[in-house]
Every structure is written in C-alpha cells, then in structure tokens.
A and B are shown apart, each in its own frame.
Chain A
Amino acid sequence: MSNPVLTIENVSKTYGPVRALDDVSFSCNAGEVHAILGENGSGKSTLMKIASGTVMPDKGTVEVDGTSLQHGDARAARDLGLATVYQDDSLVRELSIAQNLYLGTKQGDVPYGAMLSWAQEQLDRFELPLKADTAVAALTPAHRQFVEIVKALLHQPRVLLLDEPTSTLDLEGVKKLSAMIRDLKEGGTGIIYVSHRLPEILDLADRVTILRDGVFRGTYPVEKELSEHRLVELMIGRDIEGEYPPKPQIGDKVPVLEVNDFSGTHFRNVSFSAYRGEILGFAGAEGNGQREALRALVGLEDATGSVSCNGTQVNFLTPREALESDVLFLSSDRMGEAVYPELSVQKNMTLTRLREFVKGGFLRTRAENENASKMVDDFGVVTASLDKPINRLSGGNQQKAALARSFRSGAKAVLIDEPTQGVDAGARFEIYQAVRENIRDDGTCIVNSSDAMELAGICDRVLVFSRGRIVRELEGDDVTESAIVGSFLTDRQVNETSSDTSSDTGAGAKLLRTLFSGATTWWVPLVFLAILTLAVGTYAASQSDVFLKTVNIRHILLAVAPAGMVAMAQLHVLLVRGLDVSVGSIMSLTVVASSFLIAFQAPLTSLVLGVALCLLLGIVVGLVNGALVRFAHINAIITTIAMLSVLQGIALIFRPTPGGLISQDFTELLRTRVGFLPVSVFFLLAVAFLHDIWLHRTRSGLEAKACGFREEAARRNGVRVDRVQVRAYVFAALLATVAGFFLGSEVGVGHPTVGQNYALTSIAAAVLGGAALSGGRGSFSGALFGAFFFTLTINVISILGLSASVGVIASGLMTLLAVFLYTGVSQIEHIAHNFKRRRAFHVRAAQ
C-alpha cells in the first residue's frame, strides 16, 4: 500500500429522499488500475462527480495526491492533478477538436494562434487518425471518446477517472484503450475505471471496489479466484434467480399486437407478434434499432409497415392515435417524457383514465381519489399522500406511478422502454412483479431493455435485434442472459458507424438554414444582409429622390448608432444563451440621467463625471441582472422584465414628462462629422471590430461561445461559467448605456420612455446578423449590420411617405421574419414531413 494518489474517505451524499452514497471510502495508488463496479443507480456516477470536484459531498473528504480537495470545483481538482473522462461526453459539439482541447488547457499554456498545430500534435501523439479542425459533432461516438481521453491527459494527471469508457467503443477501440491504459499505468498514473463490464475489469484492474445502493460493499484484489459470478453476486447482493416473479404458462398463443414489415431509419423489415398475457422482450446492444422500433410503434419515430392490435389497424402516426387503437408507450426518459414533475402523484397516475371519472362534463373527485388510492396500493407506490408532487418521490416510486398509469389506461398493448432505468435495486424487483401482475388477460406487454439479465428474468420471449433487424427469437428455457448476450455479440462484429442518412430536405430550405442558424461561418449572414440592403436601397432610390441625398444618408447613419450599440449589447447576452429585455429601459434611464448629470451648459469636469456616473449605473444594472439570473436562479426573461419595470419606473419618477436639456457640448461631440460621415460610424465599426476579435480570436471569447453552446461541457472544462454569464449581462448593460448616450444626443432632452422599442429592435437586429437564440452563435459586425438594415427600412418607409403605423408594423414583421428564418424554416420542413407521413400512411391503409 504505497503512495495513494486518490483517497476518498467516509463520503456521503443525499439527493432529496434518495441516499445516493452512504459512507464510502476507498483509495487508488499510483500505477494502479482501480475498478469501481456497481449497477445502474448504485451511486457510481455520484462518486465520480464527487471525486472530480463537480459535486460537493454532504460528508467526508477527498484527497488528490495528498492534498485535500476543499470545495466543489472542477478547476481545483484539475490543478491538483486529477482528470476525468465522462460517460456523457463533455465536449462542445459545435466547436472543433482543437477548440475543445484548447479549452482544457490552463490559461496561457498555449498561445491562441498556435491552437491548431498544437492540437494536431496532441492527436498525433496517440496516433489518432483525426484532423484537429474537425467539428466534434462530425465525429463518431468512439472518436469523441478518444478526444475526450486525449483532453484528460493534457496535464499529465496523477490520477485519471474513466467513467464507462468502452460503452461507445468497438472491439478495436477497446484494444486501443486497453493499450493506452497499460502505458499510463507503467508511467505511474493511478486509474479509476468505472464499468459494469466484468471481462474488462478482470482483464485490466488490479483491485475492484463494489458499490450497491450507494453502500460500500468492499474492495477486492483481482486474482484468479475472483470469478465473474462472485463479482455479480457481490454487486447484486442477493440470489438472483429467486427474485424474479415466476413465469406463468402461456396457453394458446392469441396474438394481440401484430407487426408486419415494419421499417424505419434505424430498423428494417421487423415482423413479429406479441401474444396475450406474455411479456415480450426487445434485446440488443445499444443502438441497434430496438428502441427506435418500439418508439415507432406509437409514432415517436418514422416508420412504414403495418401494425394491428386485436385485429384492427393501428395508426402509428402519433402517440394519441396509437392509444386510440389501444397501444401505449412508456418512455425510458422519465424526467423528459414520462412524468409530470410538479404535478401530484394522483394526477400523474390517472391521466390516461380520466374519461372514466367524467360525469356531465366534470371530473368526479371521489371516484378519482378512490381509484388513485387503489392504483397506489396495487403498484406499491410509496408516497405520503396522493397530492405530493411526484418529483419528491424516489425514482423507483415515480416509475411505479408511471407504470400504474400505463397499465390502467385500458391499452391492450403496453410498450415499456427500460422499465428500471435509474431505479434502486430493491424497487426493481417490485417493478418486475408489478409488470407481471398487471398485464391484462386480453393484453400484452413489450419491454425494451439494455440489461440482458433483466430481460432473461422477466420475459417469456425475447427478440434480439442487430443492425436494425431481428436476428434471433428466444423462447421458454432459451431465455437466459447468456443466450441473449451471446446472440447479439456473435452477430455484431463491429459497431455500426452512425448512418447519417441526410433527410430529404429542400435545397432552398437548407440554404436558408445555413444562412441563419447553421452559420458556423460568421460572415455568411453579412452577405445575406448586404443583398437585402442593396435590394431595399435600390428600390428606395428608384422611388424617391431624397433617399440618396447626403442629408438622408447621414440621418440614417446617425440613427444606426443607438440601434447598433444596443444590438451588440443584446448579442453579448444571446451568446451565452440569455435574453435581456431591459436594454431599452437602460437606454431610457441613461437619457433621463444624462439630462441631470450631463446637463445643459455644465462645465467640462462635471460632464466627464456625469458620463462616468451613467456608465457606473449601467454596470450596476448589469451586475444585478447577472446576479439574479445566476445566483438567485431566476429565469433570464423574468429577471430582465422585472428590471425593465424598475428602470422604467425610476426614469418616469425623475422625468414624468420629457424635459431637461442634455449638454449641447456632449450631443455635438457625439454627432461630430468627419467629412460627410458622422463620427459615430467609425466608433461603431471599431467597437464591432474589437468585439469580433475578442469573440473569434481570444480564449475568453471562446469560453463565452462554449457557455452558450453547452454550459455543462464548458463547466467541466474548467470555464468559470458564472463569471462568463454575469460578465455578459454587465457588458450588455454597459453597451446599452452607451446606446443611451447616442439616443440622448438625438433627442436632446430627458425623455423617459424614448428607449422602449429598442428591446425588440436589438433582438431582431442581432438575430438578422446571425445570432442564435440557442446561444453560441453570432457576430458583432452582424448585429451592427442587422441594426443598419433595420434602420434603413424604417427610413425608407418614412421617405416613401407611408404613415407612422407602417413603420411600427414593419419592425414587428421584420422581427418575426428574423426569428422565423432562424427556427421556423426547419419547423416547416418538420410539419411538411409529418404531413407527407400522414398522407402516405392513409394511402397505404386504404389499399
């Protein structure tokens, strides 16, 4: 026992009612491979998160290389020499390999300019056949895993945490990984290897620590005597066979669900029948089409073919229509697709059978309550009351409630995806029992599971999928874990490379999408805007003599100043996936403040002081916005709406009506001309240029983008996410204040509501300039150009003598157009696609 590099002592952690870890201790030595073994929900991933510093334990200590890890900080853990490779990859997919690796370095280690060649060196060192400038999204899952490992090894860590590293790898990949691990071990790195694949553990590990239900079950040296069977016993902690409910004899095989020639993107020619009273299992290695086939039966995936339930044709276009033909699906994504987190247990359970309780249009509460109580008893849901929000229950109880809803919905065919995912071991067996007991006499049940042991335990019959086809059917005594695993392993030599069948998208729609949301090249929207500007400009010039006059051009350029500044302000927040509705009121308040602080005929010193005070005000507003969003966890929209209200109120208190002249020296300064151009034009261009340099050419800009694309990944890379976010709100408020100065120079007096329409303009301009509401994308020059186009259009409308109302309408329509081009286009494709599906289905059904 020499030289431990990672020591975990008496660590405990609870999440609400769930005890994830209970007093766990173990240590890993230098040059040792230490495996952590446990089922789903045994606390492995919580332990990983605590070891890597992303989660604070309630109790206990973590020591890396002899130094104790004080606070939940991934950065600190990294600096101490601990690196983590996560199971769900922590790479920012929209960025390139090089950018991702670069984010993993310490500030100043690698110059930004040398990023690409440096990253290529790192990849070559491990002989990976990858180009450093490839976007991560374009890589196969296996390659992503290796990039992840390369990133973890950048700092020559003392201890490396690998969380299920082989789940996406094929045999070749596993070999390569094993070789890498052996090399690292030679070099004295301690390796924590989390896995549930026993052969790998027996092959690689020196010692193994076993967790069950969050409790430490012992650490064992890996020796010849330690068999797989013994490990499983320790992991499960009970005699496996006895815990599954007995399988009844199925008498006559009466088909309930009949599926014929069912094909989709991930599965082909699937045909089978599910019989009365049986549990039919779908098996296969992850990603072989079994899940998609199950989802397609209720329309959650595209498919063709024919499905019938008790002899009537099933409409598998949407879950609602499938349910009308008595087919119901329960998703494996519990939080995302199966439960209603804030609603009560009762409401979660009775949803599918509410019609039973309706009398004269109203729900009979009594009948509903009684039935809900019965469901709770029948399915063994443990809850203090039926009114308790379901998210306060443990995963197992949530799942039982969801099962109760599914089985009591009246559906004849109940399809369950991963019935025990994220459920603790005790509850699993209750769930198996509940499933078995509640199949209707005239119904059937299909279970998809990645756990072969589970399928062997509960299913009467199992269909094994490989590459989208059913390759084997196991029945009766053949339904065993080894038979299931054996049949999908023998058929599968290599992992399929993700078949990226590009959808039948129209070229035009694709082009539009590239122009807007998909624009990884930031200048594309600029070109598009230039074309729009030319078109509008040419039209205006042909209709009006005034348009091209210097006076008018200058007028437009002056009006661009506030709009352009505020659009850039908005972009700061959009980049980190926020939204700031308060920018308009910041401008109003700045104008009002200027009328006091930068007042008419004030001496120069007080002018300077006034400007400084206004800017300070902006910074304070930004800090408050940022703090409320990040630290009080209030939704960004609501926060900035609240701020809008407060600032507008303050502006109106100081200037109930427009009044108070702003210093002429100041306004003149902002309106100075150079030649025939206003100086503000150069100022705006300089601001946009500098900001774009920051965004596209510095580490800090890259961090902002990473936060917008995928905050969790950025955090895992050691980006100080909160700081980046708060900074965005501060910069937004600051630029909005400057926009307020320009607006003030236009109106000249303290006008309390003059900025109120700029919130809308700023969003529209930034989006037109290539910013995405989903964060990460956009450019400051684009936002400026967007604002220019906006201003130009409003100007053209007024020059053509149209009424003021047209201008208001136009700005609304332009905003809608901007957001529509950004998300609406792909949605139209989606809607059209669904329409086609529907028509094709009905054509087939009619035949």
Chain B
Amino acid sequence: MQSHASETVTRHPSEKPGLRVPTIQMRFAAIWIAFVVLVLIGAVFLPRSIQPSALQSVLPFAAFLAIASMGQSLVIMVRGIDLSVPAIVTLSSTLLLGISRGADEMMAAGVIIGLLGAAGVGMVNGILVAVFRLNALIVTMAVGSVVAGLTLWYRQGLPAEASVPQSLSKFGSQTYLGINTSVWIALILTCVITIVLRRTLIGRQFETVGSNPDAAHATGVRSASYQAGAFVAAAVLYGIVGIILSAFIRNPTLEVGQPYLLAPIAAAVLAATSINGGIGSMIAVLGGALFLTHLGQMLKLIGLETSYQMIIQGVAIAVGMFLSSFFEGRKR
C-alpha cells in the first residue's frame, strides 16, 4: 500500500498524506472579524454607539435575533428555508397571553403551550417538506399564512391590552452580572446547539443529511426524520423568541414577530451557513445577529429610519451568499 501512496503523491504534489493541520475555519470567523471592525468604526466615528447604556439596550434584541437565526440556520442546513418565523413567534407569544391571562400561576402552562404550539407548526412544516417533498419556501409561506390567520382569530377573543404574567416580565427585565436574561438564554442555546452539532451522533448525522440527503439515506441515516426535525427544532427556537420577547416587552401585539421574517435569513447567510446544506456554525450565527443589530443601532444613532435596516439586510443577504459560494469554491 505504502508504495502506491507515494506514487500518488508524486502525481499530486500539493497533497500530503496523513498530516493533520488544525485549521481555524475562516468562513465562520469572517463575520466576527466584520463585527469587530464594525465596532471599531463605531468607536472612532460614532462614540455613542459603544456607550455601555447603548449596548445594554441593544443586546437583548441581538439575543432575540440570534435565537431566531439559529433556527433559520438549522433549516438552511438541511437545504430548506423558513418564512413562517414571524407567524410562529407571534403564535407562541399570543398563546402565552391567552393561556396565562396575565396570571402568575398560569405562567408555566402558558410558556409550555406556547412552545408546544410552535413545535406543532414546525412539525407541519417538516412533514410537508420532508415527507411530502413540497417546496420549503412555499410551504412555510403558506403555513405561516394559515398560522397568522388562526392567531388573529384567537387574539380577537383576548383583551387588546393583554400583558404577560408579572413574574415573567420581571424575569424578562432581570439581569445577571449586568447582562439581561435573554442574552444569557441566547448564549446557553448557542453552546448547547454547538455541542450537539459538533460532538454528538445526532449532530453528525444531521450534517450529512444536509450535505447530501440521498447519500445519507444510502448510508443508513434517517434522512427525512432529520429534515423534519430541523423544522421542529427551529420552530421551538422561534417559540422561545416569542416567549422571552413577550417577557421583555410585557404587552406584545400581533406585530411582535414581524421583524423576524428576513433578518434571521440575513444573519444566517452572513454567518456563512451553506445554502447547499450541511455546513453552519451557531457561533458564527451569533456573530451575524450581533453584527446586524449593532449596524441597525448605528444607523439609528446617525438618525436614519429603521427602514434603512431592511435595505442593508437585503444587501447583506446578497453579499453574504456571494462570499459563501466563493468560500465553497463552486459556482452553484
């Protein structure tokens, strides 16, 4: 065997056998570098943007976006896309309001049912996409529409000024070590998902399903289950956003999910999540969410309306995609 290997080496001198070089994955580091550069630019030209109070006010929103973006990334990693995020966020928020009716003793029930509702929607998405092989974009748009309609109908039976239970809103505004609880939740979720993806059998099989579902099937992996599972896991994450976002703003309306249609896609794409599936890093997604939120904050400080954020998101999606395909070195 040895002699044959050396023979091959002479033909491809650029490839050396057996050597293990630890590599920092540039594609995932890029967004953090961009974030640091952005913060530095802010520090020089817009000192207000890095004042502690400014950071304090913007961090929870970065956390909400980060959690939603992790969900979106999981879906993109299995070659899907999820446009039902706003509907699911609003659904779990509204279920929380409706079940708890602002009473502390019903808080747990409200949270659980809110999350279950979200998971249920994710299951419908997942089954339609993975089992019935329908187009993910259309399915999630349509399911999102159905869920939005149901939520609207359910919400009509609730008082307009409904608010979350007191202990929940207290939880939402609490800080540990000077950092808001939602930020801690986002950090914990980042770690958990990262470990599951990198260090467990489930995570590894999930990657292979994303990278090549047919090959995964032929190698004995339950492809469809993992694909559907991605939609469910993502929906639970959106549900968590719905709950902690409601806790933070106390009396959420039906518009609560609206910012999460496109921003999570932008964050996921900026984090170099591969649209061809399989590849993604939650740490990078966290960076993507921070980047977008901080950029939005800077725009606000310059005095530009939030609408500019949408333009930036759009451009970010296009640029991120272009760079991502550049990293992958293939043209499709």
User: Residues on A close to B: CB < 8 A?
Assistant: 17, 298, 300, 318-320, 322-324, 328-329, 331, 336-343, 347, 351-352, 354-355, 358, 361-363, 365, 369, 373, 376-378, 380-387, 391-394, 396-397, 405, 426-427, 429-430, 433-434, 437, 579, 581, 628, 632-635, 637-639, 641-650, 652-653, 656, 757, 759-760, 763-764, 773, 803-813, 815-816, 819-820, 823-824, 827-828, 831
Contacts and interface: CB of A to CB of B under 8 A. Distances in A.
B135 A819 contact: yes
A343 B208 contact: yes
Interface stretch (B33-41, B55-63, B175-183, B261-269): B261-269
B221 interface: yes
B307 A382 contact: no
Interface in B296-332: 305, 307-315, 317-318, 321-322, 325, 328-332
B318 A340 contact: no
B154 to A, nearest CB: 9
B146 A341 contact: no
Contacts of A393: 15
A225 to B, nearest CB: 33
Q: Is the interface of A mostly helix, strand, loop or mixed?
A: helix
A383 B204 contact: no
A649 B309 contact: yes
Contacts of A805: 149-150, 152-153, 156
Max chain B CB contacts within 10 Å: which of A17, A358, A382, A434? A382
Interface of B: 1, 4-5, 7-9, 11-12, 14-23, 81, 128, 131-135, 137-139, 141-150, 152-153, 156, 195, 199-201, 204-205, 207-208, 211-212, 214-222, 262, 265-266, 269, 274-279, 305, 307-315, 317-318, 321-322, 325, 328-332
A652 B211 contact: no
A803 B221 contact: no
B81 to A, nearest CB: 6
Nearest to B23: A387
13 contacts: A340-B215, A340-B216, A363-B200, A380-B4, A394-B12, A579-B135, A645-B266, A645-B314, A649-B313, A656-B307, A808-B145, A819-B134, A824-B128
A384 B137 contact: no
B135 A638 contact: no
Contacts of A809: 145-146, 149-150, 153
A570 to B, nearest CB: 11
Given A319-B219, A433-B4, A805-B153, A819 B332 contact: no
Given A645-B314, A652-B310, A635 B134 contact: no
A343 B207 contact: yes
A643 B214 contact: no
Nearest to B151: A805
B140 to A, nearest CB: 10
Given A382-B9, A823-B134, A369 B20 contact: yes
Contact of B132 (A339, A352, A628, A827): A827
Contacts of A824: 128, 132-134
Given A340-B208, A823-B134, A378 B220 contact: no
Contacts of B276: 341-342
Contact of B269 (A638, A644, A808): A638
A539 to B, nearest CB: 21
Contacts, number: 290
Contacts of A397: 8, 15
Given A426-B11, A429-B4, 5 more contacts: A300-B218, A320-B220, A336-B215, A632-B322, A644-B314
Contacts of A339: 212, 215
Given A363-B200, A805-B153, A341 B4 contact: no
Given A354-B201, A649-B310, A760-B141, A385 B218 contact: no
B145 A811 contact: yes
- Nearest first, the 5 A-B pairs at minimum CB distance are A649-B310, A812-B145, A645-B314, A809-B149, A808-B149
Contact of A760 (B12, B17, B145): B145
Contacts of B211: 340-343
Contacts of B135: 579, 773, 819, 823
Nearest to A639: B318
Nearest to B265: A641
Contact of B315 (A318, A352, A646): A646
B296 to A, nearest CB: 12
A815 B318 contact: no
B255 to A, nearest CB: 12
A763 B138 contact: yes
A646 B308 CA distance: 8
A430 B139 contact: no
Contact of B200 (A361, A635, A641, A812): A361
Contacts of B22: 387
Nearest to B124: A816
B293 to A, nearest CB: 16
A819 B128 CA distance: 10
Contacts of A433: 1, 4
B318 A812 contact: no
A643 B312 CA distance: 11
Nearest to A323: B220
Given A342-B211, A363-B204, A819-B134, A320 B145 contact: no
